[in-house]
Chain A
Amino acid sequence: MTATFEHVRPSACPACNAAPAAEHLAELPRDATLMLSLPGIHCAGCISGVEKALAAVPGVREARVNLTLRRAAVQAGPEVTAEALAEVLERAGYEAHELDPGVLATTEADRQGRDLLMRLAVAFFAMMNVMLLSVAVWSGAEGVTRDMMHWISAAIAIPAVIFAARPFYVSAWGALRAWRINMDVPITTAMLLALGTSLYETALSGHHAYFDAAVMLCFFLLGGRYLDHRTRSAARSAARELAALEVPRATLLTEAGERVVVAAELAPGDVVMVRPGGRIPVDGVVRGGQSELDRSLMTGESLPAFAGPGTEVSAGEVNLTGPLTVEVRAAGRDTALHRIADLVAVAEAGRANYSVRADTAAKMYGPGIHVLAAAAAVGWWMHTQDMRLAFNIAAAVLIITCPCALALAVPAVTTAASGRLFRRGLLIKNGTALERLAEVDTVVFDKTGTLTTGTPEPVALEAQPEAEMRVALALAEASSHPLAVALARGLRARGLRPARVEEIAEVPGFGIEGRWRDQPVRLGRAAWVGAEAPDVTATFLRIGTGAPRALTFTDTLREGAAETVAALVAAGKRVILISGDSQGAVDRFAARIGIAEVVAEALPEDKVARVAALAADGAKVLMVGDGLNDTAALAAAHVSISPASALDAARTASDMVLMGRSLAPISEACVTATVAAKRIRENFGIAAAYNILAVPLAVAGLCSPLIAALAMSTSSITVSLNALRLK
Chain B
Amino acid sequence: MDILGLLIPVSLGMGLAGLVAFWWMLRKGQFDDPDGDAHRILRDDYDDKPKE
Contacts and interface: CB of A to CB of B under 8 A. Distances in A.
| Chain A bound to chain B | yes
Given A48-B45, A128-B15, A132-B11, A67 B23 contact: no
Interface in A35-89: 43-45, 47-48, 52, 65-69
A277 to B, nearest CB: 34
A121 B32 CA distance: 17
Contacts of A148: 4
A125 B16 contact: yes
B35 A48 contact: no
Nearest to B37: A67
Contacts of B8: 133, 152
A66 B18 contact: no
B33 A125 contact: no
Contacts of A129: 11-12, 15
Contact of B32 (A45, A68, A133, A152): A68
Interface in A17-48: 43-45, 47-48
B15 A66 contact: no
A65 B34 CA distance: 12
A43 B39 contact: yes
B18 A44 contact: no
A44 B1 contact: no
A68 B35 contact: yes
B40 A47 contact: yes
Interface residues of B, number: 24
A361 interface: no
Interface in A91-133: 114, 117-118, 121-122, 125, 128-129, 132-133
A156 B16 CA distance: 11
B43 interface: yes
B22 A44 contact: no
A121 B19 CA distance: 7
A45 B44 CA distance: 9
B36 A122 contact: no
B43 A48 contact: yes
Nearest to B21: A121
A69 B33 CA distance: 7
B6 interface: no
A118 B42 contact: no
Contact of B33 (A48, A66, A117): A66
Nearest to A115: B26
Contacts of B16: 125
Nearest to B34: A68
Interface in A131-163: 132-133, 145, 148, 152, 156
A152 B8 CA distance: 9
Contact of A67 (B1, B19, B31, B33): B33
Nearest to A43: B39
B11 A125 contact: no
A118 B21 CA distance: 11
A156 B23 CA distance: 18
Contact of A44 (B11, B15, B43): B43
B32 A66 contact: yes
A47 B43 contact: yes
B32 to A, nearest CB: 7
| Listed residue (B19, B22, B35) with the most chain A CB atoms within 10 angstroms of its CB | B35
Contacts of A133: 8
Contacts of B19: 121-122, 125
A68 B31 CA distance: 10
A622 B50 CA distance: 50
A125 B15 contact: yes
A321 to B, nearest CB: 42
Contacts of A118: 23, 26
A165 to B, nearest CB: 17
A84 B39 CA distance: 27
A42 to B, nearest CB: 9
Contacts of A68: 32-36
Q: Which of A45, A68, A114, A148 has the most CB of B within 10 A?
A: A68
A642 B6 CA distance: 63
Contact of A121 (B11, B23, B44): B23
Interface of B: 1, 4, 8, 11-12, 15-16, 18-19, 22-23, 26, 31-36, 39-40, 42-45
- The 5 nearest A-B residue pairs measured at CB: A67-B36, A44-B39, A67-B35, A44-B42, A68-B35
Interface of A: 43-45, 47-48, 52, 65-69, 114, 117-118, 121-122, 125, 128-129, 132-133, 145, 148, 152, 156
Given A68-B34, A132-B11, A133-B8, 13 more contacts: A45-B43, A48-B43, A65-B36, A66-B32, A66-B33, A67-B36, A69-B33, A117-B26, A121-B26, A122-B19, A128-B15, A145-B1, A145-B4
24 contacts: A43-B39, A44-B39, A44-B42, A45-B43, A47-B40, A48-B43, A66-B32, A66-B33, A66-B36, A67-B36, A68-B32, A68-B34, A68-B36, A69-B33, A117-B26, A118-B26, A122-B19, A125-B16, A128-B15, A129-B11, A129-B15, A132-B11, A133-B8, A156-B12
